[in-house]
């Protein structure tokens, strides 16, 4: 028995040993392969998180505006450059809304760049989000974030995101709130925005007709990119959204005075501050009055001759001057004022204002206002648009009364001294405003007869500002 056991022993031992070795090897292989898998997974996720939060420099600074901080986020990776600026306040809801937009923009950019780099290792791109801050009243702020994204090739795009907040309550104000949640107000606003774009000479030829009509349909979502900048409500459109690239990213500026009735009361402007109200009439209401006006001067010879005739009849008149001519003849402008007449602004070089952009209109107005102020040390008190061409927007923007006329002598057309009086006589009425031009010799030559006749009829010669109260 002992011998047999002894004989079988080494075989069993050998077999057991072999089994153990095999099992151990199998287990080891399984463990090792599992670990290897695990390691791979860890390193892969490490890679992923690396691309998600690209190495960047984040800094937060306080700003000139109370409670508003500006965050700057600049990429440290030359291959995926970006520079981002955005606002943060003490309001979490607002902060989260801004951050959502920023992180979406960044992720989209980095993902697109990654894709491009898979195709082309040298692919370059850029993301730039700039911030403009516009305070309104005590505690309202508009934030305009302009995003310029370049993904290489021709994929260049400019788009805008805006936020409008009450910094006292922290709440965001939507276009619905601004327009009193009134669909009629939305329709009026939409029509104004569309009209403004169609009239805009700089982009008129670049507009995509169908896209423009769609983007200016009276839908709230069409008008949620807005800001109040100075005295205007501005609307932003993305590059290529409604016009070709040559038009850039269009902006529509509507004067608050134009859309004042559409706005919720806390955003309305005090209309009496927009234009000086005309004083109530103080003179005798039964008296006959007439306002003679002379446009397009001053002229070194004709204006002087007209001034002498007016003096002869102790008549006061109004001279609507061109800024470009005041620049040449400031002495004559001074003489007109010194002799008791009123001086009006008639634009810089006589364009049809309704064909210009609002900015160009205001440039015509402002340059002339400055030139007159410089010449006579006194501002022009009334404005007359060349050719009488004006509209509600222009009338609302010009800060002084816009005055047309009620009797046209057509002196510029007939250039005949004998025809001046008949034209006045045929259209004569009380409180009339008579249009003449102090650049035509025939007007100066026919004026004496006009004054003699009107005086005989009992008319008093007053300035435009003096007659306006009687014309209301
Ligand atoms: Zn004129």
**308 and 212 assigned to the same domain:** no
At 422 the pLDDT is 97
**88 and 181 assigned to the same domain:** yes
Burial class (CB in 10 A: 0-12, 13-18, 19+), 236: buried
Which one of 237, 267, 297 terminates a domain? 267
Q: Using an 8 Å Cβ cutoff, are 445 and 304 in contact?
A: no
Which one of 206, 237, 267 terminates a domain? 267
**201 and 242 assigned to the same domain:** yes
437 is catalytic: yes
From the candidates 196, 295, 411, 438, which is the catalytic residue?
Answer: 295
**295 and 236 assigned to the same domain:** no
At 279 the pLDDT is 53
**314 and 363 assigned to the same domain:** yes
Burial class (CB in 10 A: 0-12, 13-18, 19+), 414: middle
DSSP one-letter string for 389-422? ---HHHHHHSSS-B---SEE--HHHH--HHHHHH
User: How far, in Å, from the CA of 151 to the mean position of ligand 1?
Assistant: 52
User: How far, in Å, from the CA of 289 to the mean position of ligand 1?
Assistant: 23
**74 and 202 assigned to the same domain:** yes
User: How far, in Å, from the CA of 351 to the mean position of ligand 1?
Assistant: 9
**77 and 224 assigned to the same domain:** yes
- Asked whether residue 263 is domain-assigned, the answer is yes
**380 and 232 assigned to the same domain:** no
**100 and 206 assigned to the same domain:** yes
Residue 203 sits in a domain whose CATH number is 3.30.565.40
From the candidates 423, 437, 438, 440, which is the catalytic residue?
Answer: 437
- Asked whether residue 86 is domain-assigned, the answer is yes
Q: For residue 299, give the 3-state DSSP assignment.
A: coil
Residue 336 sits in a domain whose CATH number is 3.20.20.370
At 40 the pLDDT is 39
What is the DSSP code (8-state) at residue 385?
-
User: How far, in Å, from the CA of 344 to the mean position of ligand 1?
Assistant: 11
User: How far, in Å, from the CA of 349 to the mean position of ligand 1?
Assistant: 9
User: How far, in Å, from the CA of 296 to the mean position of ligand 1?
Assistant: 5
Q: Using an 8 Å Cβ cutoff, are 292 and 269 in contact?
A: no
At 35 the pLDDT is 44
- Asked whether residue 45 is domain-assigned, the answer is no
Q: Using an 8 Å Cβ cutoff, are 328 and 296 in contact?
A: no
Give the residue ranges of the chain where pLDDT is below 70: 1-10, 24-54, 154-155, 271-283
Range of the domain at 249: 57-267
**258 and 345 assigned to the same domain:** no
At 25 the pLDDT is 65
pLDDT tens-place string over residues 394-417: 999 999 999 999 999 999 999 999
- Asked whether residue 52 is domain-assigned, the answer is no
- Asked whether residue 28 is domain-assigned, the answer is no
Q: Using an 8 Å Cβ cutoff, are 343 and 336 in contact?
A: yes
| Structural domains counted in the chain | 2
User: How far, in Å, from the CA of 371 to the mean position of ligand 1?
Assistant: 17
- Asked whether residue 284 is domain-assigned, the answer is no
User: How far, in Å, from the CA of 205 to the mean position of ligand 1?
Assistant: 29
295 is catalytic: yes
* Both structure tokens of 432: 């009339």
**252 and 197 assigned to the same domain:** yes
Q: Using an 8 Å Cβ cutoff, are 387 and 352 in contact?
A: yes
User: How far, in Å, from the CA of 435 to the mean position of ligand 1?
Assistant: 9
At 39 the pLDDT is 40
**252 and 333 assigned to the same domain:** no
- Asked whether residue 380 is domain-assigned, the answer is yes
Q: What is the C-alpha separation between 175 and 97, in angstroms, rounded?
A: 16
| pTM across the whole model | 0.51
User: How far, in Å, from the CA of 386 to the mean position of ligand 1?
Assistant: 5
Which one of 267, 301, 327 terminates a domain? 267
- Asked whether residue 278 is domain-assigned, the answer is no
């Amino acid at each position: 028995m002992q011998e047999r056991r002894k004989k079988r022993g080494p075989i069993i031992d050998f077999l057991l040993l072999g089994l153990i070795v095999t099992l151990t090897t199998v287990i080891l292989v399984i463990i090792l392969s599992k670990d290897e898998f695990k390691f791979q997974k860890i390193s892969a996720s490490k890679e992923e998180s690396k691309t998600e939060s690209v190495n960047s420099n984040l800094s937060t600074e306080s700003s000139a505006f109370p409670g508003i901080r500006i965050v700057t986020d600049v990429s440290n990776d030359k291959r995926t450059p970006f520079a981002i600026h955005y606002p943060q306040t003490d309001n979490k809801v607002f902060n989260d809304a801004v951050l959502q937009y920023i992180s979406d923009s960044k992720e989209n950019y980095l993902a697109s760049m990654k894709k491009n780099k898979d195709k082309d290792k040298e692919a370059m791109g850029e993301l730039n989000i700039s911030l403009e801050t516009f305070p309104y009243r005590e505690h309202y702020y508009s934030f305009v974030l302009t995003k310029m994204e370049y993904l290489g090739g021709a994929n260049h795009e400019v788009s805008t995101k805006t936020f409008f907040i009450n910094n006292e309550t922290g709440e965001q104000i939507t276009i619905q709130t601004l327009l009193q949640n009134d669909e009629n107000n939305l329709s009026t606003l939409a029509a104004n925005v569309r009209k403004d774009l169609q009239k805009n000479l700089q982009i008129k030829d670049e507009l995509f007709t169908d896209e423009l009509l769609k983007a200016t349909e009276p839908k709230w979502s069409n008008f949620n990119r807005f800001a109040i900048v100075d005295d205007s409500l501005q609307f932003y459109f993305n590059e290529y959204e409604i016009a070709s690239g040559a038009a850039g990213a269009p902006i529509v500026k509507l004067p608050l005075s134009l859309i004042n009735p559409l706005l919720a009361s806390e955003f309305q402007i005090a209309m009496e501050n927009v234009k000086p109200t005309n004083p109530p009439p103080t003179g005798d209401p039964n008296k006959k009055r007439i306002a003679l006006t002379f446009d397009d001067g001053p002229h070194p010879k004709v204006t002087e001759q007209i001034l002498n005739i007016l003096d002869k009849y102790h008549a006061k008149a109004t001279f609507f001057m061109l800024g470009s001519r005041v620049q040449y003849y400031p002495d004559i402008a001074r003489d007109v004022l010194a002799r008791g007449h009123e001086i009006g602004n008639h634009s810089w070089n006589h364009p049809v204002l309704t064909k210009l952009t609002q900015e160009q209109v205001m440039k015509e107005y402002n340059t002339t206002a400055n030139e007159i102020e410089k010449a006579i040390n006194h501002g022009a008190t009334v404005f007359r648009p060349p050719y009488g061409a004006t509209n509600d927007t222009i009338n609302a923007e010009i800060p002084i009364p816009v005055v047309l006329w009620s009797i046209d002598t057509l002196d510029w057309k007939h250039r005949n001294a004998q025809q001046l009086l008949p034209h006045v006589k045929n259209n004569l009425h009380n409180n009339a405003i008579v249009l003449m031009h102090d650049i035509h010799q025939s007007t100066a030559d026919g004026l004496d007869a006009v004054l003699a006749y009107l005086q005989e009829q009992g008319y008093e010669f007053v300035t435009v500002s003096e007659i306006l109260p009687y014309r209301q």
